[in-house]
A and B are shown apart, each in its own frame.
Chain A
């Protein structure tokens, strides 16, 4: 059986599944139950000056009958006194010494405040710290969370202040509410971060009630933007992890999160360079026991792939992730419709005819049956027909053999050749 033990910048845990800093890690009672269920680690609900919350706080976006495709919240950090949290951390660590407890912290950009909270939280026995430069609502209005995390210099400076006194590994949790996350990731590394984690939630508004015209969620009729997470954000998070993993200078471990709800997503994040994953929404939706399937699934997958430890999985896809300009312009795939499987719903035809390249013909076979056929030469291999097809195996995207003139060439190569050929206008 594969070894799932994990080491993120020196923070060890029995498996790569940590609960993210959020309601599931609000108290010792919850974290102890989570460890009992099998979670390898927990990032404690962010500690700082205790806040006041509003009611209500959460909303979800359902799509196509799927509940909680995305999740939105306007909750702030912990509303409990620091001393209460620390007592429970101490107790939990004593009961579960093999599990990782990471203290998530957020204070104002003030050196003394950072020093004080770091020392007090480390004294409770945490295995590491996570600096929350990510929460996009409420705290940001007070100059903390994503307001700090959007300014590389503030990320660097505050990380450096923490590193002046920290004795445990420091993870810097980054906000996705920024154009290029590698800038803030680099700033964290320059400040001395031992690891970075991403993503926190994305600025969002779930919806508007069409009867009352109130926002969703709202507090007695008034709304404010929240933070979005859950399955819908996975592609955004995965790209951010991949971009950081492949960017020189961000040579620290990455703890990945954003939409992880099964072992498959966990494996994807690790292939893109994450050393482990954190989970919030899926645990809130389905409870702590989802971790059992995550552990079994990942372990079986690694056995099937012949992998002995996570090191053999982490980052394997990173070298395959590149810039658009380095992709081969002449490589081609084309759609092939398998008419024996096709149910003639014509979704592919409509998609191609209305919104793509008009390369599917409606024909009759020799018995007079309706069939669809792709004109391979006109197909640009966009994948749309296979994406909208409701039947598994009805459309394959097949590689088109190269002809003379189709030799591999990237956009960057092409532009270089053009520059060398000179301009005539």
Chain B
């Protein structure tokens, strides 16, 4: 599969989980790539990200989350 297509599939999976109300609960990396744990109340789901761009993209989401958390704490 072309690298960009691989990224788009993984990005869609991330976006879908977020649209379904999941949020990022934790993250770890090992030799196989990045494992992002999504959670919605008691429900959890771990997504295995392999493509380099998806491994950048989820970090952008973390950054976005950190930014909104800090603006909420300010307001």
- A: which residues have CB within 8 A of B? 329-330, 357-359, 375, 377-378, 380, 405-407, 409, 413-414, 417-418, 420-425
User: Cβ of B56: which chain A residues have Cβ within 8 Å of it?
Assistant: 329-330, 405, 409, 414
Q: Is the interface of A mostly helix, strand, loop or mixed?
A: loop
User: Cβ of B2: which chain A residues have Cβ within 8 Å of it?
Assistant: 358-359, 375, 378
Kindly identify, within residues 22 to 75 of chain B, every residue whose CB is under 8 Å from any CB belonging to chain A: 24-30, 35, 37, 46, 56-57, 59-63, 66
Among A359, A378, A380, A423, point to the contact of B27 (Cβ < 8 A). Answer: A423
Verify B3–A424 contact, CB threshold 8 A.
Answer: no
User: Cβ of B59: which chain A residues have Cβ within 8 Å of it?
Assistant: 329, 409, 413-414, 417-418
User: What 7 additional pairs, Cβ within 8 angstroms, besides A378-B4, A420-B62?
Assistant: A359-B2, A380-B3, A405-B11, A409-B59, A421-B62, A424-B25, A424-B28
Closest to A414 in B: B59
Q: Which of A359, A375, A414, A417 has the most CB of B within 10 A?
A: A417
Residues of B within 8 A of A (CB-CB), count: 22
Among B11, B27, B30, point to the contact of A418 (Cβ < 8 A). Answer: B27
User: Cβ of A421: which chain B residues have Cβ within 8 Å of it?
Assistant: 24, 26-27, 62
- B: which residues have CB within 8 A of A? 2-4, 11, 24-30, 35, 37, 46, 56-57, 59-63, 66
A23 to B61, CA, bound (A): 61
User: Cβ of A375: which chain B residues have Cβ within 8 Å of it?
Assistant: 2, 4
Verify B63–A424 contact, CB threshold 8 A.
Answer: no
Verify B35–A409 contact, CB threshold 8 A.
Answer: no
A140 to B66, CA, bound (A): 55
A330 to B60, CA, bound (A): 10
A269 shortest CB reach to chain B, Å: 35
A216 to B50, CA, bound (A): 48
User: Cβ of B57: which chain A residues have Cβ within 8 Å of it?
Assistant: 405
Q: Which of B30, B37, B62, B66 has the most CB of A within 10 A?
A: B62
User: Cβ of B27: which chain A residues have Cβ within 8 Å of it?
Assistant: 418, 421-424
Verify A378–B3 contact, CB threshold 8 A.
Answer: yes
Among B11, B30, B61, B66, point to the contact of A420 (Cβ < 8 A). Answer: B66
A-B contact pairs, 19 of them (CB 8 A): A330-B60, A357-B3, A358-B2, A359-B2, A375-B4, A378-B3, A407-B60, A409-B63, A414-B59, A417-B59, A417-B66, A418-B29, A420-B66, A421-B24, A422-B27, A424-B26, A424-B35, A424-B46, A425-B30
Closest to A358 in B: B2
User: Cβ of B46: which chain A residues have Cβ within 8 Å of it?
Assistant: 424
Among A330, A359, A377, A425, point to the contact of B35 (Cβ < 8 A). Answer: A425
User: Cβ of A425: which chain B residues have Cβ within 8 Å of it?
Assistant: 28, 30, 35
A417 shortest CB reach to chain B, Å: 4
A417 to B56, CA, bound (A): 11
B36 shortest CB reach to chain A, Å: 8
User: Cβ of B25: which chain A residues have Cβ within 8 Å of it?
Assistant: 422, 424
